[in-house]
Amino acid sequence: MAEPLFRRLALLGIGLIGSSVARIAMERRDIAAEVVANARSQATLDRVLHLGIADRVELDPAKAVAGADCVMLCAPVGAYAALAEAISPHLAPGAIITDVGSTKVSVIRDVGPLVPAGVHFVPGHPLAGTEYSGPDAGFTTLFQNRWCLLTPPPGTDAEAVAKVRALWERCGAMVDQMDPAHHDRVLAIVSHLPHLLAFTICGTADDLEGESRKEVLQFAATGFRDFTRIAASDPVMWRDIFLNNREALLEMLARFTEDAQAMARAVRWGDAAYIEDKIHRGRRIRKSLIELKQA
């Protein structure tokens, strides 16, 4: 077995992502010699102990990070500022603080100023997930062959970046580096906007008058059913993502809305060629994804 990358890994938040990292670290034992889990409620921590996916649990984040050489924020991004404030005075010199949030500009804005001198801050984002949440939802193959994007601010210690990279590689992920603002723009279109659309169409259906509403549920065909799967994701996590990637998300939604209105116009005026062309483009993109093994 390879030498563990860290002596003590503190996971602040133990939902789908955090508990998957915990399960992998506990199973491989080459990521951290000790895994400490922190959550907002004792009930969650009791569940963690019952599942046996951490060596130790701590309800107080300050205690969870004490002596840890790697601290990973795995809570909804809206909770990062308060968490960073709580742990900042207790971070060990030379420790690495990283995260798994889906927005990176906001994380650097909220956490960056609270990182003490001598502590290395390496923001990250594993592009993996399911519609399930909580400590029971994690599993050891979640990151297998999925990308993890690191967005270290300029001047970040190269060795710290290398260690976070190694952590994700041991989790099975492929790792790449990206500018934080660029990350947020790409994620706005590949993840945040699709979720916003899925949540919205569920609401639109839910607003239908009595009989139709019942039938929407009864006759949910392929399209709607797939949308509801996406829409089943964690509300607080997604609320925080939308609020913390506001500019990029609103820009992508504006572009999308223009495109949807152009499609509506083509439907209204019977522009068959326009509609067919748009559908062909969708198929081409799907084909490209399959070639890139992302589908």
User: Considering the rule CB under 8 A, would residue 223 count as an interface residue with a second copy?
Assistant: yes
The alpha carbon dihedral of 255, 260, 266, 271 has a sign of positive
User: Considering the rule CB under 8 A, would residue 221 count as an interface residue with a second copy?
Assistant: yes
Q: What is the footprint of a second copy within residues 65-104 (CB under 8 A)?
A: 78
Residue 67 phi/psi, 5-degree rounding, is: 80, 0
**Least distance in Å: CB of 222 to a second copy?**
6
User: Considering the rule CB under 8 A, would residue 129 count as an interface residue with a second copy?
Assistant: yes
Q: Which is nearer to a second copy, 59 or 243 (CB)?
A: 243
Q: What is the footprint of a second copy within residues 271-290 (CB under 8 A)?
A: 272, 275-276, 278-289
**Least distance in Å: CB of 32 to a second copy?**
26
Residue 10 phi/psi, 5-degree rounding, is: -105, 120
H helices of 171-245, where?
180-187, 193-206, 210-218, 222-231, 235-244
In sequence order, what are the residues at sequence separation of 6 or more whose Cβ sits closer than 8 angstroms to the Cβ of residue 225?
none
Provide Rg for the chain, Cα atoms. 21
User: Considering the rule CB under 8 A, would residue 203 count as an interface residue with a second copy?
Assistant: yes
User: Considering the rule CB under 8 A, would residue 260 count as an interface residue with a second copy?
Assistant: yes
Q: What is the footprint of a second copy within residues 142-161 (CB under 8 A)?
A: 147, 149
Taking alpha carbons only, the member of 268, 245, 84, 249 closest to residue 180 is 245
How many other CB atoms are found less than 10 A from the CB of residue 86?
A: 17
User: Considering the rule CB under 8 A, would residue 59 count as an interface residue with a second copy?
Assistant: no
**Least distance in Å: CB of 87 to a second copy?**
24
Identify the three-state secondary structure at position 48: helix
**Least distance in Å: CB of 85 to a second copy?**
19
Taking alpha carbons only, the member of 140, 133, 138 closest to residue 19 is 138
User: Considering the rule CB under 8 A, would residue 212 count as an interface residue with a second copy?
Assistant: yes
User: Considering the rule CB under 8 A, would residue 139 count as an interface residue with a second copy?
Assistant: no
What would the x/- binding string for a second copy be over residues 8 to 27, using CB under 8 A? Answer: --------------------
Q: Which is nearer to a second copy, 7 or 286 (CB)?
A: 286
What would the x/- binding string for a second copy be over residues 167 to 196, using CB under 8 A? Answer: ---------------x--xxx-xxxxxxxx
Number of residues assigned to the chain: 295
